[in-house]
Structure 1
């Protein structure tokens, strides 16, 4: 905590990131903390027009926040969990994982199309290899193009004619209060499996931070955390990161975890899917990852690693 007695919360500067961070800040203030929200620019902010697949950093949205945490500039960092690499910087931990908002992806278009209703050859914009792969698997005729920018920028670009539709996380639309203003169709998991951790917020602190447990008590959702840990265990075992076409969705009920997972080639031609159940998140995620690798997912992941190493 800073010398003034105020807890300094670090965040990216987009309206969505600030909204998410202010939600966490209000919860902490209700527990008696004084909280200052401080904006930290990240790699993604410094390179706003570069496709994420080209940047190819797993910590593209988190690195500068982690550095600010380690240097003592901030006391905690709020991330969208889907942006957080499975391997954290040494000395840092995820102190809390929030209750999950809707993890679904949403297809945004003025006509309110679903994926099957898109016109032949329609242009769909996304910055995600996972979304690209699943779109092309179901609709190989689509023209899937790159897009960058915050939620409002992407919607504006679509409306200006850059694309017929875009794909966004529905949780972002919810948190920004845009679900009634931006026409969209929610994509069910059998059409598009979400990103690992999509819909969760994560709060990172130093491992030895004195208020770590108090922050956890204020912000952590135990059932959500178990689902998130199962998804992240699967991703870790696949040796993937934020920039690979991997999808997952874990549901918990009475302590039991049911996890669905997917690995796809970027062109959508190859898709490997599976499920696993159990009570221990790491075991469930690890077993599903091994199943996917045995099916042939290692071929896809190996080819992606080879391309990026050249």
Structure 2
């Protein structure tokens, strides 16, 4: 069988992820592969906040075009960057076992969000994180922080920011050290993005390798991430909207908890629900309806107008 061509973004973290999948394909499916690096729109435009350059497909569109063109066989994504709708002819074939789902606070001088001085600068790419930071500390100056993980760490070291927020999964995967204060934020403190910590594998619907790629799917992670993605789909939200959604098991029940609102924390809705794990999509739909009935879509539309202005 021929080599599988894996498409990946070029950052250290993206290449770690692609190499991880390549190793698993070799060990578990006896498939050899090579990695092709592709620059996405989100990688090329670094001087503008993500929300201002569009909310869908910023880190996936070019990879998907190459899938459809037959130039690559598999795209490896951070699942939190993957829109909930796929182009015709493509599908999400597997969701890998989740790493740590939480966000991480990093600072060289302050041990927590609570200990930051009034007006401190906090760097983040995410409206979701900004909204939840402002909910706790309206006085903090949240600023856009673009670039790969190493670039963000360098800017923290240089004093551009008093603290930054990264995904704990990326911190773990890259073995980041040398930052005095690194603290994982509990899900209650900061609800993660849909799919955070998991990798999404995308291929053509007619791919000859699809049955082998599917072996890398993790059943529990798939259950959780499908629930989170269904919640986002019902709200018509994208990857760059201020929504935190997290699925977990509690006494064999599926628990969903979510928080959404304006980026400045001025209007925020939050709730949780417990239900049958065997009807996870229906539970996510019911949960989304609760938010919609409370004006969630109007809040998100307003949030988008502010963010994209």
Counterpart position of 2:53: 55
SS in 2 for 1:118: coil
Is the 8 Å Cα contact of residues 9 and 78 (structure 1) preserved in structure 2?
Answer: yes
- 1:299 equivalent in alignment to 2:298: yes
Query: TM-score, normalised to structure 2's length?
Result: 0.95
Q: What does 1:206-217 align with in structure 2 at a 5 Å threshold?
A: 206-217=204-215
Measure the CA separation in 2 of the matches of 1:305 and 1:104.
Answer: 24
CA contact (8 A) 1:94 1:205 kept: yes
Counterpart in the other structure of 2:71: 73
Residue 287 of structure 1 corresponds to 286
8 Å contact from structure 1 (residues 233, 281) kept in 2: no
Q: Does 1:226 align with 2:223?
A: yes
C-alpha RMSD over aligned residues: 1.6
SS in 2 for 1:261: strand
Counterpart in 1 of 2:265?
268
Partner of 1:64: 62
Structure 2: how far apart are the matches of 1:74 and 1:230?
A: 29
Matches within 5 A, 1:29-48: 29-30=26-27, 31-48=29-46
- Residue in structure 2 matched with residue 115 of structure 1 by the alignment: 113
Equivalent in 238, 242, 252 of residue 245 of structure 1: 242
> Which segments of 5 or more consecutive residues in structure 2 lack a partner in the other structure?
none
Residue 15 in 1 paired to residue 12 in 2? yes
Task: Please tell me whether residue 181 in structure 1 is matched to residue 173 in structure 2.
Answer: no
Give the distance between the partners of 1:256 and 1:222, measured in 2 at CA: 15
- Tell me, yes or no, if the aligned pair for 1:223 and 1:252 is still in contact at 8 Å: no
Q: Check the 8 A contact 2:234/2:288 in 1, yes or no.
A: yes
Do the aligned partners of 1:81 and 1:198 also contact (CA within 8 Å) in 2?
A: yes
Instruction: Between 103-112 and 65-74, report the one with greater CA deviation.
Output: 103-112
- SS of equivalent to 2:294: helix
Cα distance change, pair 308–268 in 1 and its aligned pair in 2 (3 A): closer
Q: 1:87 aligns with which of 85, 88, 91?
A: 85
| SS of match in other structure, 2:256 | strand
SS at match of 1:67: helix
Q: 2:51·2:308 contact (CA, 8 Å) conserved in 1?
A: no
Check the 8 A contact 1:99/1:220 in 2, yes or no: yes
Q: Give the deviation of 1:306 after TM superposition.
A: 4.6
Asked if the contact 1:137–1:268 (Cα under 8 Å) also holds between the matched residues in 2, the reply is yes
Q: Deviations over 1:172-228 (max 9, x none)?
A: 0111011x43331111112111111100001000111121111111x1100000000
Equivalent residue pairs, number: 305
Moved over 4 A (4+): 305-310
CA gap of 1:112–1:98, structure 2 versus 1, over 3 A, is farther
Q: 1:255 to 1:216 in 2, by over 3 A?
A: farther
Q: Does 1:195 align with 2:221?
A: no
Shift of residue 308 of structure 1?
Answer: 6.9
Partner of 1:79: helix, strand, or coil? Answer: strand
Q: Secondary structure at the match of 2:283?
A: helix
Change (3 A) 1:309 1:12: closer
